[in-house]
Structure 1
Amino acid sequence: MSSQPWQTLPDRMALLRRRNLLASGVRAFFTARGYSEVETPYAVAAPGEEVHLRARQAGEEWLNTSPEFAMKKLLAGGSGPIFQMARVWRDEPWSDTHAPEFTMLEWYALHADMGALMAETFALLQATLPPAVSCRGITTVLDEPEYLSVAEAFARYAGADVLGTAGDARALAAQAGVALRDGEEWEDLFFRLLLEKIEPHLGRGRATFLTHWPAAQAALARRCPQDERVAERFELYVCGIELANAFVELTDAAEQRARFIEDRARRHALYGPDWALDEEFLQAVGQLPACAGIALGFDRLAMLATNARRIADVLWLPAAPI
């Protein structure tokens, strides 16, 4: 029979103390670089706009799925570089690497491009983690990361031209050598191939920055000036775990509105009506300074720091038996 979380504390105290040291190290890292730590509301009117977003309702409001909208309003108001260790909720099932309620470390660097933000992110890992980390049987050495575009990753591991087949699920399936499932659209197949053929190769031996995502998979990111088929987005993988997701931020309010309206239509067709569009956020987008932002799973970072097998092991009081 599973134990209740509080009954396992003696076995987990060393991991939890290391988690606390990690949090102190993160705060020291950003304070030394001139960032201000902020706090934003957990109950919000609009938790996000992703097509497949699973938000949890709390009365007439919604529990935060990310502090992004609120932090961008602060940036538009003149906050300067900011970071936050926010409690967030995603109404998705428990797994060894995901908790429905978790801590997200999010920060925004002013006048930063993708290269600068990747360098800062890797510097954070080197400042707060050992030179080599192991988790769930995989070891990553934190010296020289791998930089791999999504197009390169699909060509290497799936044998497919992911940009050339954009919107054509049959062509992508044929190139990747897989059968197209009933009702499977290009985006569905994209994420299936990413999960099955690409991600098993990432963040093993060395950290991987997976960069330049198809524009349709980055609704809040700026399009790449050199190739508008892709957006200035990257994800970071360490020990085979997706650790962070980042954008060079879109600052065009009209384009942001158009993207939101398109995503909302798709989401409502799939899941039904939900929250009103955050007009205050759209106003803030048009006043954003040039910036890049990143969301990093702090609990997953704690797993890397402690070689924990399950995310529940590094949570003080996980809301499920362990």
Structure 2
Amino acid sequence: MSEWRPTADFTALGRRAQLLSQVRQFFQARDVLEVDTPLLASAPVTDPNIEAIAAESPSGEGQLYLQTSPEFAMKRLLAAGSGPIYQICKAFRRGERGRRHNPEFTMLEWYRPGLSLADLIDEVAAVIGLASGYCDTVVMTYQQVFEKHCGLNPHSASIEALRDCARQHLDLSFDSDDRDLWLQLLMSSVVEPALDPEKICFVADFPETQAALAKVGVNEDSYPVARRFEAFYAGMELANGYDELRDAAELVRRISDDHRRRGVAGQCLPPIDRYLLKAMPHLPECVGVAIGFDRLVMIACQAARIDEVIAFPLERV
């Protein structure tokens, strides 16, 4: 029996250690401060697509959560005047297990006051390049990739058109009036697999309904869009970057909408992070991004499964 052994070999673990060192050197050269924030949080994200893992408070009173991202704590540091910061840390998400997912994973996240989203895209490409080697980079809008691979404009297409397109590509046995469900299904099942796996592909300007904690602006065709991007390489989503929202009232509105959608879906309604709300008025203009570090290691090792680059996945803890 070998269940006690690591699933990753020591060559992969050595490359992982090397990549950690390279990332730290990358940010040190740019005067970005490495920070360390708690893994426990009083409130998790409210995004209906992300479920936090609850933990009993050490005091025995109330409930805490294992962080799904260091975002909220890092924004409090930014609001307090930290300047540019990054963090490499463990994050936890309930129910996420598969070829590229483990409920406990390593995240690389950084925030850059004063930089543009285009500047951040350049930095993300450089960080991915530490794992992939030199690659061509392509930047497209969400509208452009949908028009190219689905033949429709995601901002103006009707729910019926989105549904019909999904059914042309996929064998589906359900129906829905949720516009974002169809957009996300087409993005993950049609658009993403069509992206060039040998280039670092950035998709920017998502629909405003998928803004999460990004600002909303207007694109050249006058459609409202979320000022955010996702990065893809080798068939994997690697990064999610935002021009960060700074409006506390808008944050409360979006949390309320998350709670509404969670209620409809029968999900729990997590508490609101009161510390983040108090910090929001002091948050500087900044951009931020999160990268799944384990996936970077998968690229560096040409691994097919996350288990090949982490010592002990869920089944061996």
Q: Which amino acid aligns with 1:33?
A: R
- Equivalence for 1:134: none
Which stretch has the larger CA shift, 91-100 or 76-85? 91-100
Taking a change above 3 Å as real, the CA distance of residues 301 and 24 of structure 1, as seen in their structure-2 partners, is same
CA deviation string 1:2-60 (max 9, x = no partner): x4252556xx1000000000001101111110111111111111110212221111111
Equivalent in the alignment of 2:216: 223
Question: After alignment, is 242-251 or 277-286 more displaced?
Answer: 277-286
CA deviations 1:257-292 (Å, max 9, x no partner) are 111111112113313443221122122122110100
Does residue 1:209 correspond to 2:202, yes or no? yes
Please name the residue that 2:279 is paired with: 284
Alignment match, 2:297: 302
Determine the structure 1 residue equivalent to 2:59: none
Task: Pick one of 108, 131, 135 that aligns with 1:129.
Answer: 131
Aligned to 1:74: 77
Residue 171 of structure 1: SS of its match in structure 2? helix
Shift in alpha-carbon separation, 1:7–1:148, aligned structure 2, 3 A:
closer
For the residues of structure 1 that align with 2:126 and 2:96, how far apart are their CA atoms? 32
Alignment of 1:94-113 (within 5 A): 94-113=97-116
Q: Is the 8 A contact 1:169 1:180 kept in 2?
A: no
CA separation of 1:118 and 1:94: change in aligned 2, threshold 3 A: same
Q: TM-score, normalised by structure 2?
A: 0.91
Deviation at 1:91, TM superposition (A): 0.8
SS in 2 for 1:294: strand
Rounded to whole Å, the distance in 2 between the matches of 1:15 and 1:271 is 41
Matched length: 306
Aligned AA for 1:117?
A: L
Give the deviation of 1:125 after TM superposition: 2.5
- In the TM superposition, what is the alpha-carbon distance from 1:147 to its structure 2 partner? 0.9
SS in 2 for 1:109: strand
Letter of the 1:277 counterpart: I
Moved more, 287-296 or 47-56: 47-56
2:218 and 2:225 in contact (8 A); partners too? no
Name the CA shift for 1:173/1:180 in 2 (closer, same or farther; >3 Å). Answer: farther
- The equivalent position to 1:54 in structure 2, one of 51, 55, 76, is 51
Q: Do structure 1's residue 316 and structure 2's residue 306 form an aligned pair?
A: no
Pairing of 1:251-262 with structure 2 (within 5 A)? 251-262=246-257
1:85 paired to 2:88: yes
- What is the deviation of 1:175? 5.3
**Structure 1 residue aligned with 2:16:** 19
The equivalent of 2:262 in structure 1 is 267
Q: How far apart, CA to CA, are the structure 1 residues paired with 2:173 and 2:39?
A: 40
Normalised to the residue count of structure 1, the TM-score between the two structures is 0.89
8 Å Cα contact 2:142/2:204 also seen in 1: yes
Q: Which residue of 2 is the match for residue 197 of structure 1?
A: 190
- Alpha-carbon displacement from aligned partner over 1:143-176 (angstroms, at most 9, x marks no partner): 32111111111111111211003xx422322456
Identity %: 36
